[in-house]
A and B are shown apart, each in its own frame.
Chain A
Amino acid sequence: MNLASLLSKDRIILSLKPGKKNKVIEDLVYTIKQGADAELIVSTLLKREELGSTGIGKAIAIPHCRSLAVDKLEIAVGRTTKPIKFNAIDKKPVSLIFLIIAPPQDPGNQYLITLGKIVQIAKELIKKKLIGKAQTPEEFITLIDQVEKGLKKGK
């Protein structure tokens, strides 16, 4: 399973309107679900943020949770046009957000594996200064694919 194959271009927003952390999370969730399901997911994601920010530093955040509202692993990506406050680990603002929602029943623990993989890829994007590189969702998916393949080769 590779990360690029889990990304969908209609769930990648590369010109996300900057705003409060909660609003940005909400905007990304709405690319996946609407209505009461979206409200439930947002509520759980915000509870997760209360436990400690998922801003891993260097402008990247990875909000995540499991929810009954989804039947498979769903990922949305947002890049804000201006960095936003996210109470990240390094106290710096965030501009790239990977949002992950997994179903409660998750054969093979794909959720935690994917979460770990995203952290690894995100760190690579930071290291190689690639956060702002992609201009379209298609380019973003290609970029993630290349970074992932590069990581595999490096092993």
Chain B
Amino acid sequence: MSTEIVEMHLKLLFDLDNLLNDMDEPAYKKIGFKVEEKEKQSLIKTRTDLLKKLPRATADIYERLKKRYQRAIAPVDNGFCFGCFQRLPIQLLARSEEIITCPNCGRILYWRKK
């Protein structure tokens, strides 16, 4: 599987996880949007299918990080990991085309397209 496809699946998986997390937030529930339980279960299944599409090692890292931090991926901004707010080593920045993890917190790093 190409790096681009893995990255695309990871981003979608991450956005789905954020969607599911928000649904359970008391502040979100209070706003009063309609959420169908049946559809929520279907989304959980989509998530599981997406996870299966990833290489096993990547899926395991993602799940482990999600369990630890709730959010497994951290954006990179101005050379900082936005998960732990530590400056990333320059050598790492030069490898921004790869799927890599933060040397400090271990989160999967994501470089936004400018």
- A interface residues with partner B (beta carbon < 8 Å): 35-37, 40, 43-44, 47-48, 50-54, 56, 62, 65-69, 71, 89, 103-105, 109, 112-113, 115-116, 119
**Interface check B64, CB cutoff 8 A:** no
CB-defined A-B contacts under 8 Å, sample of 19:
A40-B8, A44-B12, A44-B16, A47-B15, A47-B19, A48-B19, A50-B39, A56-B33, A65-B18, A66-B15, A67-B15, A68-B110, A71-B75, A71-B77, A104-B71, A105-B71, A105-B83, A112-B25, A112-B31
B interface with A by C-beta (< 8 Å) = 8, 11-12, 14-16, 18-19, 22-23, 25, 27-28, 30-36, 39-40, 42-43, 46, 71, 73-75, 77, 82-83, 110, 112-113
Q: Which 3 A-B pairs have the closest CB atoms?
A: A52-B34, A44-B15, A66-B18
Question: Dominant SS at the B interface?
Answer: helix
Check B112–A71 contact: CB distance below 8 A.
yes
Interface centre among A66, A89, A103 (most CB of B within 10 A): A66
Also in contact, A112 and B11, with CB within 8 A (given A66-B19, A71-B75, A71-B112) = no
Contact of A37 among B16, B75, B82, B113 (CB under 8 A): B113
Q: Is the CB of B31 within 8 A of A115?
A: yes
Taking CB as reference atom, which chain A residue is nearest B16? A47
Q: Are B75 and A104 in contact (CB under 8 A)?
A: yes
Q: Is the CB of B73 within 8 A of A104?
A: yes
Pairwise interchain contact A68-B112, C-beta atoms closer than 8 A: yes
| Closest residue on chain B to residue A54 by CB atoms | B33
